[in-house]
Structure formats: C-alpha cells, structure tokens
Amino acid sequence: MIEQEKLIAICPGATFAENSQWPTMLISNTDWRALAEQLKNNSEFNFDYLFCVTALDAKTHLTMIYHLESTTSRNILVVKAKIENRMNAEIPTVCDLWRTAEFHEREAFDLMGVKFLNHPDLRRLFLTDDWVGFPLRKDYDDPINMIKL
Amino acid sequence: MDVNPQDPKTTFPGEVHPAPGGGILVSKLDDVINWARSNSLWPLVFGTSCCAIEMMSTASAKYDWSRFGFEVARASPRQADVIIIAGTIVNKMAPVLKRLYDQMPDPKYVVAMGACATSGGPFFYNTYSVVKGADHVIPVDVYVAGCPPRPEALLHALIALQAKVKAGY
C-alpha cells in the first residue's frame, strides 16, 4: 500500500475516496501534470504502467480518470482529475510519460471533447474528421441519426 | 413473396419418364439452374460483431452448414453468392458494406442476421453511430431474429433462402 501522507506531500490539494476497490486520489486538472511526473519518476512510487484512461461526464463537470500500476511493487493507484470548465475542457497530456496515453487521450478527445495540452497529435480517432460535437457527452444531440427514447 | 421453408423443393425439379434403355427427363432449364444455385451458395466472409461468432459456429463441425452447400466461405466478394450481415452496421461501415455488395456478381443474396442487422436492435435508441437496419443500405432477402441468433436459427434462414432461390426469386 502507498501511504496517503506521501501522496499529499507531492500534491497538497488532493483528497481521497473511501470504499473504492483501489486507492483513489481526487485532484484538480491543474495539479495533474506535476503529480503525474512525480508518480512516474519518483522512485518511491515508480508508477510505470498506465493501464486505463477514462473520461467521465458528470454533467456539471468532466473528470479524467487514470489507473496506474507499478510493475515493481504492484501497487495500484487511481487518480481522478476534475475538470470544472465543461465548455473548454483542458488537461495537460501525459503521453510523454506513458506512451499508451497518446491513443487513449485521442479517444477521450474524440468522444468527450477533452483537450489535452501539448499532445503531439490530437485529432479524431474513431469518428470522421469532419464530425461536429462529442457524442459521448451527456448533452450531445443529433436529431438526424438519433432516435430519442 | 411467399416461401414455405417447411417444404423446400429438395429433390431434383423434373420428372423421369421411363423409356426403353433408360429414361427421359422432363424439366425446365430455369428450375434446374435455380436448383443448382440454391445448393451451392457461397457466403462472403463478413462479420462485424458477436453474430459472427454464431456464424462461425454454424460453419464448424457441430452445426456444419456444408450439409446445405454453404461451406465455401469466400474472402472475396467477387466469388461470393450470399452475404450474411453478421453484426451491427455503423455509419462508418455502411459504405463498405455497400461496396462489398456492389462487387458481388449477380445473382446475389443477403441475409440480415440478428437484431442489429435487422433494425439496429439494442442500438435503435439514443445512438449516434448505428444504422437502424442493414436494409437502409442494401436489399435484404432473409431476416433472422435473435441477439445473437442461435446457429439453428441461421441454418433455418439459409434453408429459407434456398427455398426462395428454388422458387425462382
């Protein structure tokens, strides 16, 4: 187990979720980049494996969820970064730390419209290049293709 | 058109009139051609989701669609007679499906396998990406209900298709 004090030391604004499967850290999107660098490069944590990237639409805000694992200690940590600004959702990229994030972030951009700052190749992945809007957002509407229930 | 799949003309279409030294076969050439066609329908290798697993099961030993002449699955539309739409068709796939269908030589037949290919199925409501039925893209001869349909259901559909072909459709 990773001690919460160590995590708070590198990210003072963080809180922790109770009763979750894995230790879960709740942060703001502005804290993510500095925290990610520490988690990856600090030998105390050594989270060298990013095994899941999720974008979540909570209606009032968006959340990016990162599942990290250390292949040496086998610790798992979940980081939930809250993005307050829905209209212009931005979070720094981590694809230079974990290469796998490059495509995961493209997918999150494609379907949820999260802009990843400094991402080298942020374009649509599954949808056509001329697509308008982000279809997995809760407020997405497409009166031509969608039949509402 | 009306097709009774319970009564497919499985026997050779025609009558044998005994004659000295053998027999004389009386038939119609159209019927003979349709009979031959229906017993050698080559499907296209095409599957877009879980229905394809059931289709593969239908092809394999337990259900063995080669009993009905379907065993020569072709990887090229130019050599295929029937396309089994085994799975969801999304907007991005629709032009590909149309193109495959266009590349198949006549006569060609289409089986819409499962709820997605029939109507969009579980993706009918609140989806931005799914075509609500493959018949929006290409004409369909036989629809199979199920999600996914069992191999028996697909075999039944293929036998129904054979009956349709034999009836001169």
Looking at residue A22, what is its pLDDT?
92
Give me the percent of chain B exceeding a pLDDT of 70: 94
pLDDT at B93: 93
Q: Which residues of B touch A142 (CB under 8 A)?
A: 128
Does A135 sit within 8 Å of B129, measured CB to CB? yes
Find, in chain B, the residue whose alpha carbon is nearest to that of A141: B128
**pLDDT-derived band at B2, boundaries 50, 70, 90:** low
User: Residue A112: is its pLDDT beyond 90?
Assistant: yes
- Could A149 and B129 be called an inter-chain contact, meaning their C-beta atoms sit closer than 8 Å? no
> How far does the CA of residue A13 sit from the closest CA of chain B (Å)?
38
- Under 8 Å CB pairs connecting chains A and B tally to 21
**Which of A110, A131, A146, A149 to mutate against chain B (most B CBs within 10 Å)?**
A146
Task: Select from B142, B146, B145 the least CA-distant residue to B161.
Answer: B142
Query: Which residue does chain B place closest to A127, by CA atoms?
Result: B92
* CB within 8 Å: A149 and B125: yes
When pLDDT is cut at 50, 70 and 90, the band that residue B7 belongs to is low
Contact list, A126 vs chain B (CB under 8 Å):
92
Q: Is 80 exceeded by the pLDDT of residue B9? A: no
Q: Which amino acid is at A105?
A: E
Provide CB contacts within 8 A for A33, sequence distance 6+: A92, A94
**Pairing mode of beta strands A90-92, A76-83:** unpaired
Q: Do B126 and A128 touch (CB under 8 A)?
A: no
pLDDT number for residue B167: 87
Q: What is the pLDDT of residue B13?
A: 82
Q: Identify the residue with better confidence: B164 or A3.
A: B164
**Does residue B94 sit at the A interface (CB-CB below 8 Å)?**
no
CB A146 to CB B129 under 8 A?
A: no
**pLDDT tens per residue across span A50-84:** 999 999 999 999 999 999 999 999 999 999 999 99
Q: What is the mean pLDDT of chain A?
A: 91
Average pLDDT value over all residues in chain B:
89
Q: Is B122 on the interface with A (CB under 8 A)?
A: no
Q: What percent of chain A has pLDDT over 90?
A: 70
Chain A positions in Cβ-Cβ contact with residue B92 (cut-off 8 Å): 126, 128
Residue B52 binned pLDDT confidence (cut-offs 50, 70, 90):
very high
B128 contacts A145? CB cut-off 8 A: yes
Q: pLDDT (tens digit, 9 = 90+) per residue, B64-108?
A: 999 999 989 999 999 999 999 999 999 999 999 999 999 999 999
Cα end-to-end distance, chain A, whole Å: 45
| CA distance linking residue B155 with residue B92, whole number of Å | 29
Confidence of residue A116 (pLDDT cuts 50, 70, 90): very high
> Is the full-model pTM beyond 0.90?
no
Q: What is the pLDDT of residue B4?
A: 52
- Give the one of A128, A142, A147 whose C-beta lies nearest to B124's C-beta: A147
